[in-house]
Chain A
Amino acid sequence: MSATPTLWSITRRSLAKDLRLEWRSKDAINSMLFFALLVVVIFSFGFDPTAEESRRIAGGLLWVAVLFATVVALNQTWTRELRNQVLDAYRLSPAPPQALFLSKTIGNFLFVAILEVLMVPLFVVFYNLRSVGPVWQLLVVALLATWALVVNGTFFAALSIRTRSREIMLPLILFPISIPALLAMVDATTSILTGDNSPYFWMRLLAVYDVVFTAVSLLLFEPVLNAE
């Protein structure tokens, strides 16, 4: 009854396992949600804009809040695999390392997507937002931007588990690399909200960023996973 493990079947299995673990422990999602709520509330104290202004700054605030909350979730991803050194069990098996990376990335993508679904209404309420541009564009930007954050985030979180004070390490290496993606997601969102500019260049840039870094991550994950 044994078949050679394929990339996709292992990815699915690992993802199901991670979701089950998260469902039982709720390590990542609770801390991430509470953290994001705090950021939104604190931001709304810090900035008290008019409707017109809020359209211009909401994109930046939203994505910075998501970025910080993402880091909280990313740190949990691999911590779970370090407990009981359970990561060793994966490394021993013939399963492709890329499947582990993909399952973690998809898992984080889902967590962050849930976070956004809950956070956006808060932003709309607190900042009294109404988009001038079409909302479907915001949806596309959100999908591309979230993948951009989690694909590199998952990779760098795996990198930082081999370092001292890893929770600090992750943002230090993730943020500089993510600057172009952040610039793109913030500007695209602002362009759509205000209707001043076309967001298409930024959407294309995000798509390129996603494709390039997904490829690089898949290529380099194996040596990083086995770096011990």
Chain B
Amino acid sequence: MTKLYKAFSAVTALLLLYGFCQAWYIAPTEATMGNVQRIFYYHLPSAWVAFLLFFVNFLASAWYLIRRTDGADALALAAAEVGVSFCTIVLITGPIWARPIWGIWWTWDARLTSTLVLWLIYVSYLVLRHYATGGQVPVLAAALGIFGFVDVPIVYMAIRWFRTQHPQPVIGGGQGSGLDHTMWVAVLWNLAAFAMLAVLFVWARYRQALAERALEEAYIQAEGEAQ
């Protein structure tokens, strides 16, 4: 644990706390939805952070295929794992929010569905990493990471069109529509807090993945000296 990491953790904790106050006490109660709307302050930042992490996974995967550095692979792994976690939060908070408002847990809404597909793609990425053998996991994973990311815009286009062809009950305004100024402030504070939290997790996982590799090296070294 470096000093920098500790300081970063402390700032993140403070931000999370402040974001919590913003979301629960400062932002006004939404007129029609009531208090359940406050889940939005976690739902939206989680989604943005997840998408950002998938983008990081893509960049790290491409970098790995070009340079073959352990660091790039560790970053790709960390970004995918943390990204899937945040994406899971989105998929859980979505229905909790939808149930009292729309009266249904799930709807094949364009954003929800795209997020679900994205989640499936990156879970399959983690499954591949788990099942691949030998020292070449990074190459296979990097290839799948690139495929996954290239698929994102296609998924989004397909699902938007799918929605226009299959009209569904009107479910009220979009998520961002008619947001009060103070609500935006709460969103942005929580976004900052969640982004810091994601960096913290990715950082820890990245270091852990590199440490794992260093341990393997050390094991081989020690075994070699013992002979």
Interface residues of A (CB under 8 A from B): 152, 155-156, 159, 162-165, 169, 172-173, 175-177, 179-180, 183-184, 187, 191, 197, 201-202, 205, 208-209, 212-213, 216, 220, 223-224, 227-228
Contacts and interface: CB of A to CB of B under 8 A. Distances in A.
Interface in B103-145: 117, 120-121, 123-125, 127-128, 131-134, 136, 139-140, 142-144
24 contacts: A159-B144, A163-B128, A163-B132, A164-B132, A169-B127, A169-B128, A169-B131, A173-B125, A176-B117, A176-B120, A176-B124, A176-B148, A177-B147, A179-B120, A180-B117, A183-B158, A183-B162, A201-B161, A209-B154, A212-B154, A220-B143, A227-B136, A227-B140, A228-B136
A179 B124 CA distance: 13
A183 B139 CA distance: 29
Contacts of A183: 158-159, 162
B144 to A, nearest CB: 6
- Of B127, B139, B147, most buried by chain A (CB within 10 Å of CB) is B147
Closest 10 CB pairs of A and B: A227-B136, A180-B158, A176-B120, A227-B139, A176-B121, A163-B131, A180-B154, A163-B132, A220-B143, A176-B124
Contacts of B146: 216, 220
A179 B65 CA distance: 26
Given A220-B65, A223-B143, A224-B143, A164 B133 contact: yes
Interface string B137-181: 001101110111011001101110110010000000000000000
B133 A173 contact: no
A162 B132 contact: yes
Contacts of A191: 165
Contacts of A213: 147, 150
A213 B124 CA distance: 18
Nearest to A223: B139
Nearest to B117: A179
Contact of A159 (B128, B133, B157, B165): B128
Contacts of A155: 143, 147
Interface residues of B, number: 32
A124 B127 CA distance: 38
A187 B162 contact: yes
Q: Is the interface of B mostly helix, strand, loop or mixed?
A: helix
Nearest to B68: A223
Given A162-B134, A173-B128, A220-B65, A208 B140 contact: no
A220 B66 CA distance: 11
B197 to A, nearest CB: 26
Given A164-B133, A175-B120, 12 more contacts: A173-B124, A176-B117, A179-B117, A180-B157, A183-B162, A184-B158, A201-B161, A202-B161, A205-B161, A213-B150, A223-B139, A223-B143
